[in-house]
Copies of this chain bind each other. A is one copy, B any other.
Amino acid sequence: MRPGTHRPSVPLEHRHVTRRIPQARDRGIPDATVARLPLYLRALNGLSERGTPTVSSEDLAMAAGVNSAKLRKDLSHLGSYGTRGVGYDVQYLIYQISRELGLTQDWAVAIVGVGNLGRALANYGGFASRGFRIAGLLDADPAVVGDRIAGLVVEHTDELESVIAGRAVSIVVIATPATAAQHVCDRVTEAGVTSILNFAPVVLNVPEGVDVRKVDLSIELQILAFHEQRKANGGPIMAEEWPGGVEQVNERSIGASS
């Protein structure tokens, strides 16, 4: 890719036969990159607040907790927004990443399930800050309906469809007990929602085209436990602990294959 302009009007791809669309605007940003953009954005906002005008890939990477090669590669998927010898303009990069993530528009979010977690989410500041507006809080428990939380009155889940349609909700957060999650999920997808953030510890079944992201406390803890156990046992490097074969592990199978 020549660094030149990213406008197809420039005649610079003489020999290279259509490789995969030159530099143009290949919208295929890798998932791994998308997942890190919010991190960069946060780091940039920190720099912005301190009035920093430009930042090098090295420094920004440091602030975001990644290495600089990865950061540069990630940003290169968005376009050529840096200046060689100088770095990136903080404000400009904030704008570009925000636009790429779709944060320059307003997203109406509904939270279903106003238990401890739902309340925590409703009160979570970082929510409203970045283009996400809580447009509805719903719960099935009549004892909770009517409560005022974070400036909103909790509505009954009977209203789910009308809230979604009436307030143009495009993202639904499910914070219900596990048993209710699939049902809520079915209703919101039926109502046209295609983005769901699920806190309930269940695997949701959704129609094609619906995006579900999951946050699962217990899974994170289990992953930590795995590594913690590993540290406790042998040293950091080893293979074949349990020399003899303690705890009959069904040795066979891979015995002498391959």
Chain A contact residues, CB within 8 Å of chain B: 2-7, 10, 21, 23-28, 34-35, 37-39, 41-43, 63-65, 79-84, 92, 95-96, 99-103, 105, 107, 109, 115-117, 119-121, 123-124, 126-127, 129-132, 170-171, 194-197, 201, 203, 209, 211, 213, 215-231, 234, 236, 238-242, 245, 247, 249-254, 256-258
A107's nearest neighbour on chain B, judged by CB, is B225
- Distance (whole angstroms) from the CB of A10 to the closest CB of chain B: 8
- Smallest CB-CB separation from A41: which chain B residue? B222
Tell me, in angstroms, the Cα distance from A25 to B256 when the chains sit together: 13
Alpha-carbon separation in the docked complex, A129 to B79 (Å):
47
Given A196-B224, A213-B223, 14 more pairs with CB closer than 8 A: A4-B258, A24-B239, A24-B240, A26-B240, A79-B249, A79-B250, A95-B250, A96-B250, A100-B226, A107-B225, A117-B124, A132-B225, A211-B227, A215-B220
Contact call A239/B21, Cβ cutoff below 8 A: yes
Cβ–Cβ < 8 Å partners of A250 in chain B: 79-81, 92, 95-96
User: Which of A24, A236, A253 has its CB near the most chain B CB atoms (within 10 A)?
Assistant: A253
Selected A-B contacts with CB under 8 Å, 16 pairs? A2-B258, A3-B258, A25-B239, A25-B241, A26-B239, A37-B222, A39-B203, A41-B222, A80-B252, A92-B253, A102-B229, A107-B228, A115-B120, A117-B120, A130-B218, A211-B228
Among B3, B43, B119, B258, point to the contact of A5 (Cβ < 8 A). B258
> What are the residues of chain B within 8 A of A196 when measuring CB–CB?
224
Chain B: which residue is nearest A238 at the CB level? B27
Q: Quick one: which of A24, A64, A80, A129 has the most chain B CB within 10 A?
A: A80
Known contacts A39-B203, A239-B27; A197 and B221 CB within 8 A of each other = yes
